[in-house]
Chain A
């Protein structure tokens, strides 16, 4: 019978070779907080599981060009404990911190959160508004991919056979800018986001917004950038009118489904509420810089 193989390569080259050579379904194991649940529920029956945590760099956070490179398998708890990352992109850290319980935090990685490609992944909207870039290594070498281009639909990614996300680069942040991520869940913890909203914005010297990114989670087949939401902020002082326009744009951009976690109308409404609330936090942070 086809039993699952478990491999622990010690280099990216070996990992890529293993994945590329496999005939059946392959899975990469980072924190395993999604993978093991899927295995136990027999939702997946992979031929090969490649544990990437013994590959150098996979668990490291390093400073680079004023930003940070985070190994794709780094557990959220490590990111949370990293003062530099927290200072630079607090919204990303907050989003990573929201992925499950403390126990889950000890394992769950932002690389895994990205590649699991759940539309509700908390860290993804936050990384997208931070203009994060994934380094993808595969049989044909390495490429840099904006985070928003990794997931293509629920459980689907743009990664080719044999490709691995090795790290995620969070760039330096412009002056007078701030980011934030908020999500709505029915309880205070332990739920999957019903709606998530990530915002980053940059102000000029007199407090006018010069650049903004707005990204929503759990309201479409993947995290979506809301161009109209950004437009609603750019050129304004991010006053109440601008925030209302942002909320309206966010709700208009949402195209959610009804499911066990929330209704279409609920998600649509709350997308606007969270975008507005997150923008206020981001604004405070931008002003504090």
Chain B
């Protein structure tokens, strides 16, 4: 569908900052999140997890647990049907049911510290905990591997004897930990490097980081004796949860109704299932509702972080700043099952630039760590971090300002991206130009301070989306969408519907519908919610308007073509149509019963036309040379939003993404011991930024409208996490003249490098 974009001056709601419709419930504590549901007769479910990173599960004896008074059900591997290997989309990633069932409940092997091995449902948490201790699991501990490079070595312990590398010719005859090799490119990189005046090649390592949502996974499942079930859970996509659970439990989809609670953060990590199928299985066995809530330790040990990686990046450029060739080798940890985001990582690596010669090779590698889940622009922050660091070094080598260097090579409308498409109108150049002329970029730096910048790219997606817009008898509107609201999207979707209908924003009440009340809607992910649910809401509104006009025509007894909708009213279209007082939406709604029944609009679409968002970040850091501490002194995010429907929530996404990136850059990492167990599964030692760690995050919203969205919207949620790591690394280089090639740049590493540079150290 294409439609002319609305003129800026005609917009009444889009671009303003109204209060969010769910706001009061969230500041009073009334909003119900995953763990806030209590139902009569509810049991407490808890999971027994493997203490070993890699072990054969020889036997599981649950008899003592089952005999404990108060225990109502115990489940383990035999309670879940095995699944054939089949890939299905989940967020921006693919999942395989053979792997999902094994991740939800270990079968032949435990593949990471924290892997679920059995679960119980009991009448109290204390009894459930005691029951877990009575389950006897006989493990045969195997050698483990958690490092991606080590996992690729020929003598590495193999996690899955049935895993043969895909994407190589000839097909391998031996299993390995390399699940897949992906390649993409343009032109001839060898030729390109020969044409370069400067070639820089560097190796990078990053550590897995966790999404770190404050709300742990939680659900309540209630399986009825008639085979129907209800599930309440915190998720980014309850339809996806329904699909997965129905598949894993062998249910018809219509028999499972999933309601999404308010969601306490997800960032990609709540796009898959962990507890939900287990709670359903326990509930079915116990014939009672079962509530399951992870504790923080379980969240870190058993839910998906994103990949750690090892990368080689090589970039060649001419003295005038033209990049002649770019090459990347990306090795991403997938965790215990295949499916790292190396594919999007490979596609994004050089996407911000207009290049002739590109080659990217990616490896998807299984290791004895929790299966990775999507994390905000999955894969992209890792590869783009490494690329943006090398670009900074190339710019320095040829003596060019890093922004000018990027401007020289920046992708623009018509650029053929190495991963395939030609870009439409995009805003990278605008973000770079505004960064260059910003006060921040020109400000004077203090002692031990440095400034860095980096850019970032993310695709954004559309996808299957439904909306129903019910016109109520008093002229108010109820808007049903199926994308869980993770950060204010109900407001932005309502604003677009209000704009379309020509009524006040607060006359529309939005509801996130359950899976039985609205058609299949893909999850909140890929920065698609404001784009796709907004598009669906607009189309539903247009459908309702059509019907409102038809009713007005009926009341006036004129032809429907002679009625037009303007500013919330049906009006005769021109003088020839007749002389009638305009009818407001409320006027028509009041008479709906007499004119043909209730009025509603629906949209059931596969939203097309998602457009990428580019951003540029500028950061100042100060380095304490005696302790290696890096302090973020000043930070500016500049990003193309297409059109910022609710600018406050756009700024919030920019700021939140930047601070997650600051954490990734400086302190966040999974720390494993020699024994392959996670040593920091808590917020004490998995150090996400606290309020006193960061300054205000300045934002500049660039608006290059997406011509394929009725209001010009681009997804904006993911791009902001991409540039920070490189921008900070580049700023540290500017401050102390040392380039870091490893994340996080934590004080011990920074101090060690400073000492080494001073010729000291131990």
- A interface, CB within 8 angstroms of B: 1, 41-42, 184, 186-192, 194, 259-263, 265-266, 268-270, 273
The residues of B that contact A273 with a CB separation of less than 8 Å are 626-627
Cβ-defined contact, B693 with A188, below 8 A: yes
From B671, B746, B762, give the contact of A186 (CB < 8 A).
B746
Q: Select from chain B the residue with minimum beta-carbon distance to A269.
A: B751
Q: Is B667 an interface residue (CB 8 A)?
A: yes
The residues of B that contact A270 with a CB separation of less than 8 Å are 626-627, 751
The residues of B that contact A190 with a CB separation of less than 8 Å are 683-684, 687, 690
Choose among A190, A191, A192 the residue with the greatest number of B CB atoms under 10 Å from its CB.
A190
A254 shortest CB reach to chain B, Å: 12
Cβ-defined contact, B692 with A191, below 8 A: no
Q: Select from chain B the residue with minimum beta-carbon distance to A268.
A: B762
Q: How far is the CA of A236 from the CA of B679 in the complex (A)?
A: 45
From B679, B692, B762, give the contact of A260 (CB < 8 A).
B679
Q: How far is the CA of A78 from the CA of B419 in the complex (A)?
A: 61
Q: How far is the CA of A189 from the CA of B627 in the complex (A)?
A: 16
Cβ-defined contact, B297 with A191, below 8 A: no
The residues of B that contact A269 with a CB separation of less than 8 Å are 751, 755
Cβ-defined contact, B679 with A187, below 8 A: no
Cβ-defined contact, A186 with B747, below 8 A: yes
Tally of contacts, chain A with chain B, CB under 8 A: 61
Cβ-defined contact, B762 with A265, below 8 A: yes
Q: Select from chain B the residue with minimum beta-carbon distance to A191.
A: B687
Q: Is B759 an interface residue (CB 8 A)?
A: no
A95 shortest CB reach to chain B, Å: 18
Cβ-defined contact, B748 with A187, below 8 A: no
B146 shortest CB reach to chain A, Å: 15
Q: Is B680 an interface residue (CB 8 A)?
A: yes
Q: How far is the CA of A259 from the CA of B690 in the complex (A)?
A: 22
Cβ-defined contact, A265 with B690, below 8 A: no
Cβ-defined contact, A41 with B297, below 8 A: yes
Q: How far is the CA of A260 from the CA of B297 in the complex (A)?
A: 16
Cβ-defined contact, B685 with A188, below 8 A: no
- B interface, CB within 8 angstroms of A: 129-130, 297, 626-629, 666-667, 671, 679-680, 683-685, 687, 689-690, 692-693, 746-748, 751-752, 755, 761-762
The residues of B that contact A42 with a CB separation of less than 8 Å are 129
- Assess A192 versus B627: contact at CB under 8 Å? Given A187-B689, A260-B679, A263-B748: no
Q: How far is the CA of A268 from the CA of B297 in the complex (A)?
A: 31
Cβ-defined contact, A189 with B628, below 8 A: no
Q: How far is the CA of A41 from the CA of B129 in the complex (A)?
A: 11
Cβ-defined contact, B747 with A184, below 8 A: yes
Q: Select from chain B the residue with minimum beta-carbon distance to A263.
A: B748
7 pairs, A vs B, C-beta closer than 8 Å: A187-B687, A187-B693, A190-B684, A191-B684, A260-B671, A262-B748, A269-B751
- Assess A189 versus B680: contact at CB under 8 Å? Given A184-B747, A266-B751: no
Q: How far is the CA of A186 from the CA of B688 in the complex (A)?
A: 11
The residues of A that contact B129 with a CB separation of less than 8 Å are 42
Cβ-defined contact, A266 with B680, below 8 A: no
Q: Select from chain B the residue with minimum beta-carbon distance to A40.
A: B295
Cβ-defined contact, A265 with B693, below 8 A: no
B648 shortest CB reach to chain A, Å: 27
The residues of A that contact B762 with a CB separation of less than 8 Å are 265, 268
The residues of B that contact A184 with a CB separation of less than 8 Å are 627, 629, 747
Interface SS of chain A: helix, strand, loop or mixed? loop
B308 shortest CB reach to chain A, Å: 16
From A41, A188, A260, A263, give the contact of B690 (CB < 8 A).
A188
Cβ-defined contact, A266 with B752, below 8 A: yes
The residues of A that contact B751 with a CB separation of less than 8 Å are 266, 269-270
The residues of A that contact B692 with a CB separation of less than 8 Å are 187-189
* A-B pairs with lowest CB-CB distance, top 5: A266-B748, A188-B692, A260-B671, A273-B626, A260-B679
Q: How far is the CA of A268 from the CA of B748 in the complex (A)?
A: 11
A242 shortest CB reach to chain B, Å: 18
A86 shortest CB reach to chain B, Å: 21
The residues of B that contact A1 with a CB separation of less than 8 Å are 130
Q: How far is the CA of A252 from the CA of B755 in the complex (A)?
A: 17
Q: How far is the CA of A261 from the CA of B671 in the complex (A)?
A: 10
Q: How far is the CA of A263 from the CA of B746 in the complex (A)?
A: 11
A217 shortest CB reach to chain B, Å: 16
- Assess A186 versus B761: contact at CB under 8 Å? Given A266-B751, A269-B755, A273-B626: no
Cβ-defined contact, B685 with A261, below 8 A: yes
Q: Select from chain B the residue with minimum beta-carbon distance to A184.
A: B627
The residues of B that contact A187 with a CB separation of less than 8 Å are 667, 687, 689-690, 692-693
Q: How far is the CA of A190 from the CA of B133 in the complex (A)?
A: 32
The residues of A that contact B683 with a CB separation of less than 8 Å are 190
The residues of A that contact B748 with a CB separation of less than 8 Å are 262-263, 265-266
Q: Select from chain B the residue with minimum beta-carbon distance to A270.
A: B627
Q: Select from chain B the residue with minimum beta-carbon distance to A258.
A: B748
A193 shortest CB reach to chain B, Å: 12
The residues of B that contact A41 with a CB separation of less than 8 Å are 297
Cβ-defined contact, B680 with A260, below 8 A: yes
Q: How far is the CA of A149 from the CA of B762 in the complex (A)?
A: 33
The residues of A that contact B680 with a CB separation of less than 8 Å are 260
Q: How far is the CA of A42 from the CA of B680 in the complex (A)?
A: 16
Q: How far is the CA of A159 from the CA of B66 in the complex (A)?
A: 42
Known contacts A191-B685, A266-B628, A269-B755, then 4 further A-B pairs from the complex at CB < 8 Å, ordered by chain A residue: A187-B687, A187-B692, A191-B687, A270-B626
B206 shortest CB reach to chain A, Å: 17
The residues of A that contact B666 with a CB separation of less than 8 Å are 186
Q: How far is the CA of A178 from the CA of B692 in the complex (A)?
A: 28
Q: How far is the CA of A261 from the CA of B747 in the complex (A)?
A: 10
Q: Select from chain A the residue with minimum beta-carbon distance to B663.
A: A187
Q: Select from chain B the residue with minimum beta-carbon distance to A41.
A: B297
From A192, A259, A265, A266, give the contact of B684 (CB < 8 A).
A192
The residues of B that contact A260 with a CB separation of less than 8 Å are 671, 679-680, 685
Q: How far is the CA of A261 from the CA of B693 in the complex (A)?
A: 17
The residues of A that contact B130 with a CB separation of less than 8 Å are 1
Q: How far is the CA of A262 from the CA of B629 in the complex (A)?
A: 13
Q: Select from chain A the residue with minimum beta-carbon distance to B689.
A: A187
Cβ-defined contact, B684 with A186, below 8 A: no
The residues of B that contact A263 with a CB separation of less than 8 Å are 748, 752
A103 shortest CB reach to chain B, Å: 12
Q: How far is the CA of A4 from the CA of B216 in the complex (A)?
A: 27
Q: Select from chain B the residue with minimum beta-carbon distance to A266.
A: B748
Q: Select from chain A the residue with minimum beta-carbon distance to B750.
A: A266
The residues of A that contact B685 with a CB separation of less than 8 Å are 191-192, 260-261
Q: How far is the CA of A1 from the CA of B666 in the complex (A)?
A: 47
Q: How far is the CA of A273 from the CA of B627 in the complex (A)?
A: 8
Q: Select from chain A the residue with minimum beta-carbon distance to B129.
A: A42
Q: How far is the CA of A70 from the CA of B679 in the complex (A)?
A: 36
A53 shortest CB reach to chain B, Å: 24
Q: Select from chain A the residue with minimum beta-carbon distance to B671.
A: A260
A156 shortest CB reach to chain B, Å: 21
Q: Select from chain A the residue with minimum beta-carbon distance to B673.
A: A260
The residues of B that contact A189 with a CB separation of less than 8 Å are 690, 692-693
B151 shortest CB reach to chain A, Å: 22
The residues of B that contact A259 with a CB separation of less than 8 Å are 679
Cβ-defined contact, A265 with B761, below 8 A: yes
Q: How far is the CA of A184 from the CA of B626 in the complex (A)?
A: 11
A154 shortest CB reach to chain B, Å: 16
Q: How far is the CA of A108 from the CA of B395 in the complex (A)?
A: 52
Q: How far is the CA of A195 from the CA of B752 in the complex (A)?
A: 16
- Assess A265 versus B297: contact at CB under 8 Å? Given A186-B687, A187-B689, A191-B684: no
Q: Select from chain A the residue with minimum beta-carbon distance to B686.
A: A260
B149 shortest CB reach to chain A, Å: 21
Q: How far is the CA of A184 from the CA of B746 in the complex (A)?
A: 12
Q: Select from chain A the residue with minimum beta-carbon distance to B133.
A: A42
Q: How far is the CA of A187 from the CA of B693 in the complex (A)?
A: 6
Q: How far is the CA of A184 from the CA of B627 in the complex (A)?
A: 8
